[in-house]
Amino acid sequence: MLLHKRRGRAATAIAIAILVSGLVPNAAPAAEPVSAASAKLSVNGKSFTVHTVKVDVKDPSLEVVPVVAAGGIGHDEAFASIIGREQAVAAVNGTFFNAYEKNSAIRYPNGALLAEGELLHSGENQTFVIGPDKTPAIRWASLGAAVQVGQGEAAYTVRPWGVNKYYGADNVDQTVLFTDEFGGWIGFSGGMKIVIEEGKITRITEDAVAVPAGGSVLFLGLSANNRTHVLPHLHVGDPVVVQPFATGEAGADQPAAWLAALGAGPKLVTAGEPDIDFARDGFTDPGITQRAAARSFAGVDQDGQLVLGAVSSATIAELAQIAVRLGLREAMNLDGGASSGLYANGAMLQAPGRSLSNALVVRRTAAPKVQIELNGQLLTDFKGRLAGVTTMVPIRPFITALQAEFQWDAEAREATISYDGATLKLRDGQSEAVVNGKRVGLTMPLTILEDSRMYVPLRFVSESLNGRVEWDASLYRAIIDL
């Protein structure tokens, strides 16, 4: 997946999607997927009131992702406003940020943030991760991005210092990738701005530039090193592929397939036992290592469900004991103090005392969403939809996988797909398609929905492309091989 393709934004070329007929998912679980509770626990003779929210991350009607303030990375927003804007059914404050920075535009997060394979902010932390199998886990991870310019033997890879993280004017050798999650313009002086749109470099300038919708800007500090060794490899028109990467205790990983990640720390619990190591996790501030304060945490229980929690005052050591008492097998501290906030099902269980840079939210979708696996790769930037007993999944990745020719007639609202001697014509609002000049009836009319994607029957398209479809009920996933 391209890191700079933002969720929910229409691309310049319209995306197309397809319907899977005949795959009837099992009914959603009867148990409530988001439930809140409060309990009084005693730790070392002290009593604590702990608020918790349990989330079934495998429920296909839920999305669990980190989000940033409405103004983008560097800004903050009231917790209640974030909840309302995201239509969240549950939420907890996220990673640390520069809360005391006077300039309200540079209150940057201090941890990694990733949503549906898209890296919102780089970081190196203990990290809460929801992998492609919808299993939550907590582990050390370093998340960043690689920018490949050109192709074949001429390809050159830039590894920015960070994503959406400016390092200050004194760091003349910095390279930073800014995505549209940063918001607004990139006007930092002393650097070259390389604008990336639609998978290629469209502009190279020292002037201020807007981050293009669905694109990114690579900022190069004007050091002798960057001028000599990096800039000569970058040219207007060069193709660009931006990919997130992750390294950790088990080596390299593929975060483009992750559903969510949020880095904070320190780690509280491993394998059901307290596991606090401030040096390992990079914490020296006495406010974290010694003092009691309002705390928030994220954990995983024995059933593999996500547990979010908050307590009004506790040390990190006490918080670890609380997490163990709650039966968590993994747990991690989140930002705390005046940032600590927890919400579920219409109730503010713990209200933060300040606006927040970011939060981890749980959204309930209008209809269950379907994961899509194409040729062994999970597509985090495309989701399926249900229409009665029909499962809808996107055809855009099919076009890419097959290297098929695609044309969009905006006036006629008609897509033409050509592959291996076959030509398919699909027109918005029609209950039939044209295959090699012959009209073929469809089980549902072609429709362009609010996400600017046209939906057509998969049975028709898969047969046309000689594809095979399977259904994984446990993950609500359509598995397609071409």
Q: What is the pLDDT along the chain (482 residues), one digit of tens a residue?
A: 444 444 433 333 334 455 554 454 554 445 799 999 999 999 999 999 999 999 999 999 999 999 999 999 999 999 999 999 999 999 999 999 999 999 999 999 999 999 999 999 999 999 999 999 999 999 999 999 999 999 998 899 999 999 999 999 999 999 999 999 998 899 999 999 999 999 999 999 999 999 999 999 999 999 999 999 999 999 999 999 999 999 998 788 999 999 999 999 999 999 999 999 999 999 999 999 999 999 999 999 999 999 999 999 999 999 999 999 999 999 999 999 999 999 999 999 999 999 999 999 999 998 888 888 888 888 887 887 777 777 777 777 777 777 788 888 889 888 898 888 888 888 888 888 888 899 988 877 777 665 556 776 666 766 776 778 888 989 988 888 87
For the entire predicted model, the pTM comes to: 0.88
Same domain, 243 and 286: no
In this prediction, residue 367 carries a pLDDT of 82
In this prediction, residue 11 carries a pLDDT of 34
Q: 165 in a domain, yes or no?
A: yes
Q: Across-strand partners of 375?
A: none
Same domain, 268 and 251: no
Tokens representing 102 are 């006077």
Q: Across-strand partners of 478?
A: 372, 471
Same domain, 242 and 272: no
Q: 385 in a domain, yes or no?
A: yes
Number of Cβ within a 10 Å radius of residue 302:
9
Q: 123 in a domain, yes or no?
A: no
Under 8 Å CB-to-CB from 222, ≥6 apart: which residues? 172, 190, 191, 192, 206
Same domain, 355 and 384: no
Same domain, 231 and 167: yes
CA 79 vs. chain centroid, Å, equals 19
* Number of domains, the chain: 3
* Sheet containing 447-448: order of strands: 385-387, 390-394, 15-20, 453-457, 447-448
Among candidate residues 255, 286, 305, the one where a domain is terminated: 255
Report the CATH number that the domain containing residue 184 is assigned in CATH: 2.60.120
In this prediction, residue 384 carries a pLDDT of 77
Q: 273 in a domain, yes or no?
A: yes
Q: Across-strand partners of 432?
A: 441
Q: 89 in a domain, yes or no?
A: yes
CA-based R_g, the chain, Å: 24
Instruction: Determine the Cα–Cα distance for residues 185 and 356; give it in Å rounded to an integer.
Output: 21
Q: 401 in a domain, yes or no?
A: yes
Secondary structure (DSSP) of 178-245? EETTS-SEE--SSEEEEEEETTEEEEEESS-EEPPTT-EEEEEE--HHHHHHTGGG--TT-BEEEEEE
Q: 336 in a domain, yes or no?
A: yes
Among candidate residues 330, 364, 398, the one where a domain is terminated: 364
Same domain, 356 and 428: no
What amino acid is encoded at 309 in this protein? G
Q: 446 in a domain, yes or no?
A: yes
Among candidate residues 221, 255, 289, the one where a domain is terminated: 255
For residue 318, the number of C-alpha atoms closer than 13 Å in the C-beta half-sphere is 24
Same domain, 151 and 249: yes
Same domain, 289 and 347: yes
Same domain, 251 and 148: yes
Under 8 Å CB-to-CB from 332, ≥6 apart: which residues? 126, 127, 128, 138, 264, 265, 266, 267, 268, 297, 298, 299
Same domain, 149 and 105: no
Same domain, 151 and 251: yes
Element of type H or E holding 426: strand 422-427
Instruction: Give the domain extent around 76.
Output: 34-111+264-364
In this prediction, residue 7 carries a pLDDT of 41
Same domain, 149 and 251: yes
In this prediction, residue 410 carries a pLDDT of 86
Report the CATH number that the domain containing residue 474 is assigned in CATH: 3.30.457.10
